Amino acid sequence: MHSSSPTHPCCLRSVPLPLASAAGGRIFEATAGNTGLALALVAARRGYRLTVVVPDKMSDEKIASLRSMGAEVVLTRSDVGKGHPEYYQDLAERLAREAQEETGEPAVFINQFANPANPAAHFEGTGPEIWQQMGGRVDAFVAGVGSGGTLAGVGAFLRARNPAVELVLADPDGSILAPLVKSGSCGAAGSWLVEGIGEDFVPSNLDLKIVSSAYTVSDAEAFAAARQLLLLEGVLAGGSAGALLAAALRYCREQTAPKRVVTIVCDAGSRYLSKQFNDHWMAENGLVPRAKTGDVRDLIARRHLEGEDIWANPELPVDQAIRREQGRGTALKTPSAREKAATALGSWAGRGGAQTRPPRA
């Protein structure tokens, strides 16, 4: 864990750099955020122009970080699969090709998903680091798959030292990888909220045959594990790290003898303060267990009687009301019945009776 870095060392060390050919030109990459952040560091240091194509489900914090480091961010759809022109990998490859054709300047598409420099970096760096820190005693390694480089590279190194090491896949519910490991077949990919791991295809960097076992982890379980990690250990980790931790704990609980199990904190939680560490976001996405009432209240994410909705009383300045709504907070005080009635009556009268309920900030 290196939380002081704006990126994550696993991504930074795996950045495949055939960049000598890009000198004076441009770099393009498709990324869920972390590899893009690593590339932004390298590009800024070496004077390259970087364009990253990011699915639109990624957190605002990641996107802001990429832009603050000088990257051009192109948002694209997250609801389409490989082969669609707006799929983030296909779009990044096309943009790189078009840029070189239009300007004649060098343009490199990094393609972390099929670049052999990716697993090689983990074979040469991450794997030996784990082996050394564990004193050469590793029984299992738990990892997720985004590009596949970490599991492929670390797995190859550990197996070279001890063929009995088990390689365990942690996979979001909706990804096709865990079903392929378990049964050799899968249906269409679903959707998931955890960022950075899970795929709708098998990356070229990874042979799934090396995986010993796989665990499907729901968004709720992943985020809950990440939040527990912060509360119990003081480690602020992202949802993908939560998924790895959840899978590692499940694996450990199934064992009948003590084992030395390694996983990694592969993402920083500071990039998800508006998502998995935001109680309202969690509730709105159905990720917080709630008592069922059997009526329409079960369909309401932000419940008024529990103080979760957003109110702007007549004394609250407009700019503060806007900031409060944008911050998904609650009012300075819960409006009284009289205040609610006055607000509703004023709105109704001011609009000719067009609105009969209190306006929302």
pLDDT tens-digit map of 3-56: 445 555 555 454 544 443 445 579 999 998 789 999 999 999 988 999 999 999
What would the two tokens of residue 10 be? 């696993």
Q: Do 138 and 250 fall within a single domain?
A: yes
99 and 175 both lie in a single domain: no
Residue 2 in any domain: the answer is no
197 located within any domain? yes
d(CA 248, CA 10): 19
Which of the given ranges, 25-34, 155-164, 271-280, has the highest pLDDT on average?
155-164
Q: Are residues 105 and 121 in the same domain?
A: no
Decide: residue 55, CB within 10 A, 0-12 exposed, 13-18 middle, 19+ buried.
buried
Q: Is there a contact between 271 and 33 (Cβ–Cβ < 8 Å)?
A: yes
* d(C-alpha 79, C-alpha 56), whole Å: 9
Whether residues 192 and 298 fall in one domain: no
**Pick from 68, 91, 109: which residue ends a domain?**
109
Residue 356 lies in a domain: no
Q: Quick one: which H or E segment has residue 117?
A: helix 117-121
Instruction: From residue 219, give the alpha-carbon distance in Å to each of 194, 204, 238.
Output: 6, 26, 12
- Residue-wise pLDDT for 137-149, tens only, equals 999 999 999 999 9
Asked whether residue 158 falls in the same domain as residue 241, the answer is yes
Whether 35 and 104 share a structural domain: yes
For position 90, which CATH number holds?
Answer: 3.40.50.1100
State the chain's mean pLDDT as an integer. 84
In a domain, 4, yes or no: no
pLDDT band at 320 (very low <50, low <70, confident <90, very high): confident
Question: Looking at residue 286, what is its pLDDT?
Answer: 87
Range of the domain at 52: 17-109
Angle at 239 between CA 237 and CA 245, to 5 degrees: 75
Chain-centroid distance, C-alpha 147: 13
Q: How many domains does the chain have?
A: 3
CA distance 198 to 67: 25
pTM, two decimals, is 0.80
Tens digits of residue pLDDT in 234-250? 999 999 999 999 999 99
Return d(Cα 198, Cα 172) in angstroms, integer.
Answer: 6
317 and 338 together in one domain: yes
- Residue 253 domain-assigned (yes or no): yes
Element housing 230 (H / E): helix 219-233
Q: Does residue 244 sit in the same domain as residue 126?
A: yes
121 and 268 both lie in a single domain: yes
Domain end among 85, 109, 133: 109
Question: Has residue 355 been placed in a domain?
Answer: no
Residue with tokens 């931790």: 245
Instruction: Look at residue 288 and tell me if it is in a domain.
Output: no
- The span from the CA of 141 to the CA of 153, in Å, is 12
For residues 138 and 191, state if they share a domain. yes
Dump pLDDT digits (tens) for 108-130. 999 999 999 999 999 999 999 99
* Helix and strand element counts for the chain (H, E): 13, 8
If asked whether residues 227 and 308 sit together in one domain, one would say no
d(CA 212, CA 251): 11
Whether residue 83 has pLDDT greater than 60? yes
Weakest-pLDDT range from 150-154, 252-256, 287-291, 310-314: 310-314
Under the banding of pLDDT at 50, 70 and 90, the label for residue 255 is very high
Q: Is residue 1 part of a domain?
A: no
